[in-house]
Amino acid sequence: MRRLRAGLTATITGPLLATASLVAIAPEAPALEVEGQTSFVAVPTKAKLINYRWYAFEGGAVMYVVMELPSGAQAGLGGISLEQIRGVQPAFYYGAIQPTAFLGTPRRQGAAVPVSASFSNEARSVAISFPDPVPAGSTVTVAFELGVNPPADLYVYSISATPWGPNPIEQDVGVVQMSILDNGGL
């Protein structure tokens, strides 16, 4: 097993106290291939579904799917799948919405990432594809501009990650949820 990162840390003391880290990173290791199929070595396990608009039928709604890809994955992220398993209405009831994506989180956006999505099963399934791999060790956010929130309910999705490479093996990440509250007739 080869070492992927070598680190050097220097500490400066005196009036200014600072710590500097220098990290040398080897080129990304090739994805794990078993019998011609690509797999993650370390499967992503951290995902969130964020919507800063909480009320039913509230305008300006954006749904963010955030996934952290472990540095030990040894494969870039090629796709994310969402399958709605609970919710009074499909989240994409008003039609398919092509997303945008970026590295980072919704309030700490980084570089843009090319992305596309396909919808099926009456808008309850979404397959998100990245034409270029999202590098291992990064956090990626996919944003869907819903425009208007769905009716009040708890919306639950199973989420899975697909490594980038030939014949990828999709791997379950877990379940994410989004609460949409009743606005009380406001």
Cβ density class 134-173: b for 16+ within 10 Å, e for less: bbbebbbbbbbebeebbebbebbbebbbbbbbeebeeeeb
Residue 29 confidence (pLDDT): 46
pTM equals 0.77
Q: What's the fold here for domain 32-180?
A: Immunoglobulin-like (2.60.40)
Structure confidence by residue, pLDDT tens digits, 75-123: 889 999 999 999 888 877 777 788 999 999 999 999 999 999 998 867 6
Structure confidence by residue, pLDDT tens digits, 5-17: 333 333 333 333 3
**Which distant-in-sequence residues (6+ apart) come within 8 Å of 144 by Cβ?**
62, 63, 64, 65, 92, 97, 99, 117
The domains of the chain are located at 32-180
**Cα–Cα distance, 38 to 46 (Å, whole number):** 20
Task: Give the mean pLDDT of 27-55.
Answer: 79
Structure confidence by residue, pLDDT tens digits, 117-138: 998 867 688 999 999 999 989 9
Instruction: List the beta strands (DSSP E) in the chain.
Output: 5-12, 18-25, 32-34, 37-39, 46-50, 59-68, 77-86, 100-105, 108-112, 116-120, 125-134, 139-148, 153-163, 171-180
Side chain identity at 172, as an amino acid letter?
A: D
Residue 69 confidence (pLDDT): 93
> What is the DSSP code string of 138-166?
-EEEEEEEEEE--SSEEEEEEEEEEESSS
Residue 2 has pLDDT above 80, yes or no: no
**Is 178 in a helix, a strand, or coil?**
strand
Higher pLDDT pick, 27 / 59: 59
Residue 10 confidence (pLDDT): 33
Residue 84 confidence (pLDDT): 93
Higher pLDDT pick, 147 / 128: 128
